[in-house]
């Protein structure tokens, strides 16, 4: 560290002898982006990066400590570190939002599955925390990782964020830094591989909704544009394959765990079979991201858009049990299909049926 780093950062200097410092001028870094360069800023050699990433693919980091300094302008941006990446589209990500300084979403932990981040699913105290940031000054971030948990420190002696369950696979992978939109400077990057680290943070409280659907059958992807008219096109179910997908601790199914999206393949069915002892009406509460069409026995019941900025310019599109339908069920088997389409920010579905009397829900 240089004398220009604030004294609080000195708290992080005593690292194990196994900690490895990797200057951004080191050829091990694989740096891509709209703009990148090595320069001296405030007396410190740093990487200037705009809309890009810097990977250390040979690090093979599983458990241990990642540390670096970051300097932002306060503009709208998303800058931080990633770890345990097993491919460019699968790993763990933590970043700060300088433009949301002091607010509850000032930062974000999210897994990345098949190239899709999911901040619309992973939000609230378990995944972000209100922090205030200093502009045009160095700040120090430390991430301590052990198996399925992590603690995040920012110029602090205690964790500012505890991640009670890392969502990706518990395996070693690449590490690095990244940024979106506003440019940022990174410096003094180091990492320590070790199983002998301590996680001290406490998990945020989680509540499970009553009547929660706990498993979905998920189809292959198809083009959202094929969903036209009041009836489900039967050819969409021809030769379809289905994968069972359990929900996570907050009740949503992250559809990106099954597959990614592409042009002409941005939609998948999440299916339930409702077997009713007799003809009856059951209420279902649900939430989704980004868009959905709901079909009961092939007939369209609902179409909605919950995407980012879809309802007003501040709307985030987060997922909860905010919508409800009355399902007019036949005696016997009924097929309920949620055709969920994704653009960005999180591809998910959740639902709850509180009244299960005379009803079997599968899977």
Q: What is the model's pLDDT at position 205?
A: 85
pLDDT band for position 6 (50/70/90)?
Answer: very low
- Residue 21, token pair as written in the block: 């410092």
Q: What is the mean pLDDT of the chain?
A: 93
Taking CA atoms, 359 is separated from 226, 278, 329, 356, in Å, by: 31, 9, 10, 5
**CB–CB of 79/180 below 8 Å?**
yes
Mean pLDDT for the stretch of residues 158-168: 97
pLDDT in tens, 27-80: 999 999 999 999 999 899 999 999 999 999 899 999 999 999 999 999 999 999
- Residue 114, token pair as written in the block: 């098949």
Q: Is the peptide bond before 326 cis (omega within 30 degrees of 0)?
A: no
- SS3 category, 253: strand
Mean pLDDT for the stretch of residues 226-230: 95
Q: What is the model's pLDDT at position 10?
A: 34
Expressed in angstroms, the distance from the first to the final Cα of the chain is: 55
Structural domains in the chain, CATH included, are 7-193 (2.60.120.560), 215-362 (2.60.40)
pLDDT in tens, 129-145: 999 999 999 999 999 99
């Amino acid at each position: 560290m240089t004398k220009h780093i604030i004294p609080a950062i000195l708290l992080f200097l005593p690292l194990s002898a196994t900690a490895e410092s990797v200057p951004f001028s080191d050829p091990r870094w694989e740096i891509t982006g709209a703009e990148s360069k090595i320069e001296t800023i405030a007396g410190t050699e740093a990487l200037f990066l705009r809309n890009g990433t810097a990977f250390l693919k040979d690090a093979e980091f599983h458990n241990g400590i990642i540390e670096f300094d970051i300097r932002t302008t306060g503009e709208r941006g998303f800058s931080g570190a990633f770890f345990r990446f097993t491919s460019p589209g699968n790993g763990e990500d933590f970043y700060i939002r300088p433009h949301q300084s002091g607010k509850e979403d000032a930062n974000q932990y999210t897994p990345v599955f098949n190239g899709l981040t999911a901040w619309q699913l992973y939000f609230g105290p378990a995944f972000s925390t209100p922090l205030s940031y200093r502009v045009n000054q160095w700040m120090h971030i430390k991430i301590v990782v052990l198996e399925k948990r992590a603690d995040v420190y920012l110029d602090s002696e205690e964790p500012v964020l505890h991640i009670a369950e890392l969502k990706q696979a518990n395996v070693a992978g690449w590490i690095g830094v990244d940024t979106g939109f506003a440019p940022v400077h990174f410096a003094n990057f180091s990492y320590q591989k070790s199983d002998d680290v301590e996680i001290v943070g406490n998990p945020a409280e989680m509540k499970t909704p009553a009547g929660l659907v706990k498993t979905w059958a998920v189809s292959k992807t198809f083009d959202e544009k094929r969903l036209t008219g009041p009836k489900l096109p039967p050819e969409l179910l021809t030769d379809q394959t289905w994968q069972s997908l359990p929900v996570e601790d907050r009740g949503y199914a992250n559809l990106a765990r099954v597959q990614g999206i592409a042009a002409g393949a941005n939609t998948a069915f999440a299916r339930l079979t409702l077997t009713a002892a007799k003809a009856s009406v059951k209420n279902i509460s649900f939430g989704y991201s980004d868009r959905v069409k709901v079909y009961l026995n092939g007939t369209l019941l609902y179409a909605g858009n919950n995407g980012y900025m879809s309802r007003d310019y501040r709307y985030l599109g987060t997922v909860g049990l905010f919508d409800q339908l009355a399902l007019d069920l036949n005696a016997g088997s009924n097929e309920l299909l949620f055709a969920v389409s994704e653009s960005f920010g999180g591809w998910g579905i959740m639902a709850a049926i509180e009244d299960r009397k005379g009803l079997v829900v599968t899977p």
